[in-house]
């Protein structure tokens, strides 16, 4: 059976596509044409930032608007792939793509600035994001959120914002928001990896399928309503996720945990490599500033 039976709207999310196009146009208008009206800073949008923002929007559509989103309601491994990219890849890309003056303009809003100042403190950001992520994957909590459209929208939005808070101390370049330097940045990344491990391990080493929304036909059908119009579902005869999942349910669940951990390690490893490179470049720059010891013979 094919995903096409769920219809074009379920597979390609046209409304979400239109929203993303509107956000992209609004961003480029604000960053170029109306920059001077919005901020007195002379800093403009660089080519790198523009490409990065478009790449972020495209990736966001692939994760939440393409057939992968529908597949994420059928296969747990697809769901965890979504989670990995949505919370570990997209937030740092988004932060880096937005010009400094835009961030400063946003953070000038008292409420927004106050929330950022508190929740981007490294220890708080670590605990909040990893705590929310682990809490979400407790089977009882997961199955309740997964079948309620309002709860699902609220929780995943809060989780995405907490992911931005978590990445902020590492990725942002605003001088007034620099909390981590040197070895602390490395420790912060390792702490993130450690705190996310228990949730992945629980999923990987489980003896039975943990989530009713990926194993029980009734709960699965309810969860599917979040991305498939009721009119499309009413005309289908679905026995359960196994009719579309080419893996046994337990193996699919274990694969999801493994994929989450692998993507996490790749992302954090890339960030570590970048930190070491910047550290090396800074050390070389500092060394070049030091005057060499004069040759005494040449002086004589």
Q: Output the pTM of the full model.
A: 0.89
* Residue 152: CB atoms within 10 Å: 15
Q: Which of 264, 277, 66, 240 is nearest to 167 (CA)?
A: 264
More confident residue, 244 or 87: 87
Mean pLDDT of 192-198: 93
pLDDT tens column, 213-226? 998 888 888 888 88
**What three-state secondary structure class fits 151?**
helix
Cα-Cα-Cα-Cα dihedral of 288, 290, 296, 298, to 10°?
Answer: 40
Average pLDDT of 216-244?
78
Q: Express each pLDDT in 55-88 by its tens digit.
A: 999 999 999 999 999 999 989 999 999 999 999 9
Query: pLDDT confidence of 295, banded at 50, 70, 90?
Result: low
Q: What is the pLDDT of residue 221?
A: 84
Give the span between the Cα atoms of 155 and 62, in whole angstroms.
20
Among residues 274, 275, 267, which one has the least CA distance to residue 87?
Answer: 267
d(Cα 298, Cα 295) in Å, to the nearest integer?
A: 5
Structure-block tokens of residue 121? 């403190």
Q: Give 247's DSSP letter.
A: S
* CA atoms of 12 and 275, how far apart (whole Å): 37
Average pLDDT over residues 267-293: 78
pLDDT band at 130 (very low <50, low <70, confident <90, very high): very high
In angstroms, how far apart are the furthest CA atoms of the chain? 97
Closest listed residue to residue 216, CA positions, set 18, 76, 112, 29: 76
Does 298 score more than 50 pLDDT?
A: no
């Amino acid at each position: 059976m094919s995903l096409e039976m769920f219809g074009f709207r379920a597979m390609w999310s046209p409304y979400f596509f239109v929203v993303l196009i509107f956000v992209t146009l609004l961003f480029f208008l604000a960053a170029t044409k109306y920059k001077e009206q919005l901020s007195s800073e002379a800093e403009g949008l660089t080519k790198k930032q523009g490409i990065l923002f478009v790449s972020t929007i495209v990736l966001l559509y692939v994760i939440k608007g393409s057939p992968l989103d529908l597949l994420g309601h059928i296969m747990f491994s697809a769901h965890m792939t979504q989670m990995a990219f949505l919370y570990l890849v997209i937030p740092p890309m988004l932060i880096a793509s937005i010009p400094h003056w835009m961030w400063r303009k946003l953070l000038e809003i008292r409420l927004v600035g106050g929330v950022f100042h508190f929740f981007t403190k490294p220890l708080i950001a670590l605990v909040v994001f990893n705590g929310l992520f682990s809490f979400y994957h407790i089977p009882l909590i997961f199955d309740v959120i997964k079948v309620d459209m309002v709860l699902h929208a609220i929780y995943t939005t809060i989780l995405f914002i907490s992911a931005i808070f978590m990445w902020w101390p590492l990725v942002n370049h605003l001088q007034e928001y620099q909390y981590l330097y040197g070895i602390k940045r490395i420790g912060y990344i390792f702490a993130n990896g450690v705190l996310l491990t228990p949730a992945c391990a629980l999923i990987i080493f489980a003896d039975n399928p943990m989530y009713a929304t990926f194993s029980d036909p009734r709960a699965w059908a309810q969860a599917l309503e979040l991305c498939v119009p009721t009119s499309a579902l009413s005309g289908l005869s679905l026995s359960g996720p196994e009719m579309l999942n080419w893996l046994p349910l337990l193996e699919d669940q274990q694969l999801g945990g493994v994929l989450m951990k692998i993507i996490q390690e790749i992302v954090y490893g890339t960030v570590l490599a970048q930190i070491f490179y910047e550290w090396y470049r800074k050390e070389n720059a500092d060394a070049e500033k030091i005057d060499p010891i004069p040759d005494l013979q040449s002086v004589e």
